[in-house]
Structure 1
């Protein structure tokens, strides 16, 4: 089975006050940590860039499975990047995650693949997180449906959940405080 990853890396990082995808997490950047946890599972990883596109492309050059895609309209928001990434999907299923989730465990990806449903969302202590696993036959519904964002699509189509002990599915970086908290937690993770 062909599994792909779609990583959303086009945003401005405006709430963080610093470009968060290049921040260091134990010797690797946030975006590298995000890519590496899915790397062995995915046949290829589509990274949708926008703001700081060249910087991200340079960081990810060593990762031969990574295909960079430019979203010229990234300022329109994350859903424009979702659509841009989905245009590249060719596998049977794909994981979708924002690039600022550096602590998702490889085991979580494996657990999600063990469930054969159209849309799978991981849960940690009753909270939904990332990545989302979607069967590719739904791509055209996302691209051509009347949805304002991916959440609307997921809720309208229905989804299955899988419980995990991986709190990394909830740990994104929106602010400097989130980053400091994440770096402090990684020692115990």
Structure 2
């Protein structure tokens, strides 16, 4: 069962007087910290909804293996509209999806894994009687949220789904701490950093040079999602020419095509993965999952239990 995530970072961060996603919380930015949480729990795809200072934010996360969706109307819309934008994009790409605003970055991967065990349509973390983030949604429930025409926000929309909601007690203060007043979070940050201590495995295939890695894998995913190389490049923050270079370099080295091309004008033409391209992507993901699970077991035994 595949679980994705939608992170909303389209607003102006007016309460803090600065651009919240790029503020440092510890030694990394708020947006880097929340992305790391999801990636540690093997959540994919991760969709970041941008708006205010979108180009700057998208450049900041361009090497983190996520997908950016831009709310071009962030100045005249509410957070719920940005949430809907992200949910609409992700709903057919996974079985469940997390949702969180960008300013709640201190929850742990253990909390994510606990929520992922729920079979409810909506799963919310509870810390000392307070509801926190992220919230886990079954993608089957997303159409109801997208059709919710009220203007009272995501919280009220979720409250109307109480009959299919499970509230899960977690021992994770980070689920209820936002980043509006980060100055008094040092102890929580230190705790969170200990949870982030993990092996960081980057898996690639090489011949004379690297020919396939996670960045190309995500590019293939987004091409398949969107149907064009141009759209995939925009969501990943890479140039059109670089994307074609990555694709062509692989095809030249392995001797088969990854995508079917269909010439087009400004849109760049339609593209879909070939059967071999799909099979390679599936097998690469299986291989990566097995390597990461083995690496985590070895890390826990050799490192984490001793230091």
TM-score normalised to the size of structure 2?
A: 0.58
Number of the residue aligned with 2:161: 157
Post-superposition offset of 1:138: 1.2
Post-superposition offset of 1:184: 5.2
What is the RMSD computed on CA atoms of the aligned residues? Answer: 1.3
**Which whole-Å CA distance do the structure 2 matches of 1:22 and 1:187 have between them?**
19
**Which whole-Å CA distance do the structure 1 matches of 2:149 and 2:20 have between them?**
31
Post-superposition offset of 1:144: 1.4
Task: Map residues 33-44 of structure 1 onto 2, 5 A cutoff.
Answer: 33-40=33-40, 41-44=42-45
Summarize deviations over 1:62-113 as a string: whole Å, max 9, x none. 112x100000122211011001101111211000000111211010000001
Find out whether 1:136 has 2:142 as its counterpart. no
- Greater strand proportion: 1
Number of the residue aligned with 2:111: 108
**Which whole-Å CA distance do the structure 2 matches of 1:183 and 1:70 have between them?**
32
Task: Map residues 8-23 of structure 1 onto 2, 5 A cutoff.
Answer: 8-23=8-23
Post-superposition offset of 1:133: 0.2
Bigger shift: residues 55-64 or 45-54: 55-64
Post-superposition offset of 1:146: 2.6
- Partner of 1:137, secondary structure, is coil
Selected match of 2:174 from 168, 173, 181? 168
Find out whether 1:97 has 2:100 as its counterpart. yes
**Which whole-Å CA distance do the structure 1 matches of 2:187 and 2:23 have between them?**
14
TM-score normalised to the size of structure 1?
A: 0.93
Number of the residue aligned with 2:82: 81
Number of the residue aligned with 1:48: 49
Of the two, which has the highest radius of gyration?
2
**Which whole-Å CA distance do the structure 1 matches of 2:6 and 2:190 have between them?**
28
**Which whole-Å CA distance do the structure 2 matches of 1:50 and 1:91 have between them?**
24
| Equivalenced residues, count | 185
Moved over 6 A (4+): none
Post-superposition offset of 1:182: 2.3
Higher RCO structure (Cα 8 Å, ≥6 apart): 1
**Which whole-Å CA distance do the structure 2 matches of 1:93 and 1:135 have between them?**
4
Post-superposition offset of 1:140: 1.1
Number of the residue aligned with 1:146: 149
